Structure 1
Amino acid sequence: MTNAASALAPETYEAADDDGIARVHDFLAAHETTGRNAPVPRYLLAGAEPGDQVELPEEVFSVLRQVVEAMQRGLSVTISPVAQTLTTQQAAELLGVSRPTLIKFLDEGRIPFERVGSHRRITLSDLLEFRRFRREQQYAALSVLSDELDEDAPVDEVLGELKAARRAVAAQRRGGVGTR
């Protein structure tokens, strides 16, 4: 395997240097808290020689921020490269659904796709937009449900309401109306 190929392989990193991670975390948190990064945050990667530096693009900084936050919490981090165009299996795995469920979403027009021969291909940006929209819908449904629950109700009654709400959300996803 070449260096370029090994650099693109999925890799998991453990939070081993607690002091180093803490310093980076505190630095980033202080800048965000004090607003010192306004109006445009700029972060540089510096080499060993004076003047040997490059500005990190916003996307790279965002990844770095998430990695540091996870490691600060003692979590391991896996970086897994993903192509810009995905197969249906890759897209299903990214969404955490079965391939038949993804195909259903495609056939219903909920996710745009292109055909390459007999194969469907989904762009990563379209899939991430669908995932964001789907999560927003799920959170909204949970918010409505939590507003409707009576905290003093018996547990059996609350569980029944939760099951009914889940059925309603599932029916809505299928394009149906109402509950059973």
Structure 2
Amino acid sequence: MAKSMAFADHIPSEIDVEAASQLRKVLASIVDDPNTDNSLSLVDNEGKPAQVVLTHAIAETFLNVLRLIQNGQGFHLIPHDAELSTQQSADLLNVSRPHLIKMLEAGNLNFHLVGTHRKIKAKDLFEYMKARDDDREKALKELAMNDVELGLI
């Protein structure tokens, strides 16, 4: 049995990229209506067919993962109930750990102490990231509108 290698630990090989590309095309061809679940036929190692219901949410998640692999990127899956260290959180936010600590102490992001260590719930971090991204998008739209009003575009 081959040793399992997660994409968090290595960059996808050419074989991984090609397989992801093929599977993504198959999934994309059956995922069209977000309100409709799809059925996928698979064959197990013994040659027995199996029908699998593929909800739109699951299909979109698989497509996103396959897109990362197809583009040669590694990734981590983080459950919403995971507790992250300050370094893990800083890495996900693409900020330094000291900057993250300042954000925590300023009350910008929820955390709790485990002994002397600060822990951030992944759910809270993802909510913060979404709010931050929404604010950035709003600011960019306002800048674009200002450029239009000033005749710069």
TM-score tier after normalising by the smaller chain length: 0.7 to 0.9
Question: Do structure 1's residue 77 and structure 2's residue 76 form an aligned pair?
Answer: no
Distance across 2 between alignment mates of 1:59 and 1:148? 37
Unaligned stretches of 5+ in structure 1?
A: 159-180
CA contact (8 A) 1:45 1:55 kept: no
Structure 2 unpaired stretches of 5+: none
Q: CA RMSD in A?
A: 3.5
Q: Is residue 2:39 matched to residue 1:39?
A: no
User: Matches of residues 25-104 of structure 1 in structure 2 within 5 Å?
Assistant: 25-33=24-32, 35=33, 38-41=35-38, 46-49=43-46, 50-51=48-49, 61-72=59-70, 75-80=71-76, 82=78, 84-104=82-102
* Alpha-carbon distance change, 58 to 76 in structure 1, aligned in 2, over 3 angstroms: same
Identify the residue that residue 11 of structure 1 maps to in structure 2. 10
**Contact between 1:10 and 1:81, CA under 8 Å: does it hold in 2?**
no
Q: Is this contact kept in 2: 1:67–1:77, CA < 8 A?
A: no
Higher relative contact order (CA 8 A, sep 6+): 2
CA shift at 1:32, angstroms?
A: 2.6
Matched residue type, 1:98: S
Give 1 or 2 for the bigger CA radius of gyration.
1
Instruction: Work out the CA distance in 2 between the residues paired with 1:46 and 1:30.
Output: 19
SS of the equivalent of 2:74 reads strand
How far apart are 1:47 and its partner, in Å?
2.0
Q: Give the equivalent residue in structure 2 for 1:105.
A: 103
**Separation of aligned partners in 2, 1:78 and 1:113:** 27
Number of positions where the alignment pairs a residue of Structure 1 with one of Structure 2: 147
- The one-letter amino acid paired with 1:79 is F
- Give distance in 1, aligned partners of 2:21 and 2:7: 27
1:106 maps to a residue whose letter is L
Deviations 1:11-65 (A, max 9, x none): 22145477654442332222233x2x63335657642221567767887644431
The superposition leaves residues 104-150 of structure 1 with CA deviations (integer Å, 9 ceiling, x where unpaired) of 22112221111011110001111111111101101110110011014
Q: 1:137 to 1:110 in 2, by over 3 A?
A: same
TM-score (norm 1): 0.63
Report which stretch shifted further, 50-59 or 124-133: 50-59
Which sits farther off after the overlay, 61-70 or 112-121?
61-70
Larger deviation: 140-149 or 60-69?
A: 60-69
State, as a whole percentage, how many aligned pairs show the same letter: 28
1:131-142 to structure 2, matched below 5 A, reads 131-142=129-140
